[in-house]
Structure 1
Amino acid sequence: MYPQAYIDYLVHFHGDRDYFECHEILEEHWKEDEAKKRKRIWVGLIQIAVSLYHQRRKNNRGAYRMLKSAIFILEQEHEDLSKLGLDTDALFLLLKERLSSIKKEQPYESLFLPISDQHLLTSCMHRSKQKNILWWSNSDLTNTFIINRHTLRDRSDVVAERQMKLVEKQNNRLC
């Protein structure tokens, strides 16, 4: 009923709080569609995770911009959002409260998306168990890898892929 990427996003969002992984998972899912058919709903959800990633790192300016953009997108995509098993009224209230707290530079606290569909909740709990991730937990603020993942991750595969595309582009120019 729900894309596996969305379930995995929710598992990381509510489990290990690896917001960077949330971004990666949904971005890959979003890019599966051709560019003109990509659904903005996924961008809005990605931006929620990115906002929390920034807030947890005390980058309130980045967190505020991302969350403001996420709210704007999700309001525009309300119909699609309502099909994702979330209580949309509660979600918008939570997001606007968080936006206010970021603006006031209040410290990060874990955010729990209001899942209203019992089937989705059960799927997330099952997937969480499969991935050995504790479901519905708070951020471990001592886990520097998750907090600073963008600077600590292995990017060798990304660098190799970019190099391969550059060579391919140069070869196409020669033809």
Structure 2
Amino acid sequence: MDKITLLNYYNEFIIKQDYFECHEIMEDSWKSKENFTKNLDEVFFIQVSTAEYHYRRNNLYGAKKIYNRAVDRLNSRPIDYNEYGLKSTIKNIIGNRLHNIDYVNFKPLQLPLTDDMYRKLHSFAMPDVSYEEFLEYIKNLHKTSIMLVEKHRLRDRSEIINVRNANRLKKRRKD
């Protein structure tokens, strides 16, 4: 995946906390590959943002299911953390999150980015504030907007519905 895609993902995940959009960003990157498979690293990022989306909505069953997949994936097919500006502690952080999910209320996941990646994110997303102010701002950020929490239900789905209806119509014509 390219660096702009990764920075967009981190911006949505850390600053905007729009996990639904994170999923969309990585799914687009994943599916843009000539031979996209579930073995590509984008899948891990999709899993983490999807699990966070479910966890924030208090869908613990869904969050645990997806976090389990992410942990299994890291155990069976580790990613090159440095390539993505992540510290290797991400594996333990996700494992702990999964282990404690039934006992701890949702609080946004603090991705363990490298200092270099935090600096790139700062320049990308919030260049008008100092680096120190940026770090302080994101430290305790916790967005609770209903539009973020329930985005899949509240978004405009007219385009999706139109495509589905057109596909159904095509299928009926073939039958």
Residue number among 116, 119, 124 corresponding to 1:122 in the alignment: 119
Q: When the two structures are superposed, what TM-score results if normalisation uses the length of structure 2?
A: 0.81
**Which runs of 5 or more residues in structure 2 are unaligned?**
128-133
* Separation in structure 1 between the aligned mates of residue 20 and residue 82 of structure 2, nearest angstrom: 24
**Which runs of 5 or more residues in structure 1 are unaligned?**
none
Q: Determine the structure 2 residue equivalent to 1:84.
A: 84
* Separation in structure 1 between the aligned mates of residue 169 and residue 35 of structure 2, nearest angstrom: 23
Tell me, what secondary structure is at the counterpart of 1:139?
coil
- Kindly state the Cα deviation for residue 128 of structure 1 after the two structures are TM-superposed: 1.6
Q: Determine the structure 2 residue equivalent to 1:140.
A: 143
* Separation in structure 2 between the aligned mates of residue 80 and residue 109 of structure 1, nearest angstrom: 26
Residues 69-90 of structure 1, C-alpha deviations (whole Å, 9 max, x = no match): 01112333324444212111x1
Q: What one-letter code is carried by the residue in structure 2 that aligns with 1:121? A: Y
Inter-CA distance 36–56: structure 2 relative to 1 (3 Å threshold) = closer
Conservation of the 8 A alpha-carbon contact between 2:27 and 2:46: yes
* Separation in structure 1 between the aligned mates of residue 63 and residue 3 of structure 2, nearest angstrom: 26
Instruction: Select the structure with the greater relative contact order (CA < 8 A; seq sep ≥ 6).
Output: 1
- Kindly state the Cα deviation for residue 159 of structure 1 after the two structures are TM-superposed: 2.2
Percent of pairs with identical residues: 27
Residues 16-61 of structure 1, C-alpha deviations (whole Å, 9 max, x = no match): 1111110111111111013455653111111111111111111111
* Separation in structure 2 between the aligned mates of residue 147 and residue 49 of structure 1, nearest angstrom: 12
* Separation in structure 2 between the aligned mates of residue 37 and residue 46 of structure 1, nearest angstrom: 13
- Alpha-carbon RMSD: 2.5
Inter-CA distance 52–44: structure 2 relative to 1 (3 Å threshold) = same
* Separation in structure 2 between the aligned mates of residue 75 and residue 51 of structure 1, nearest angstrom: 17
Q: Determine the structure 2 residue equivalent to 1:72.
A: 72
* Separation in structure 1 between the aligned mates of residue 165 and residue 120 of structure 2, nearest angstrom: 39
Conservation of the 8 A alpha-carbon contact between 1:60 and 1:105: no
Q: Determine the structure 2 residue equivalent to 1:48.
A: 48
| Number of aligned residues | 166
Q: When the two structures are superposed, what TM-score results if normalisation uses the length of structure 1?
A: 0.81
Inter-CA distance 12–79: structure 2 relative to 1 (3 Å threshold) = closer
Q: Determine the structure 1 residue equivalent to 2:97.
A: 98
* Separation in structure 1 between the aligned mates of residue 149 and residue 155 of structure 2, nearest angstrom: 11
Tell me, what secondary structure is at the counterpart of 1:78?
coil
Inter-CA distance 36–13: structure 2 relative to 1 (3 Å threshold) = closer
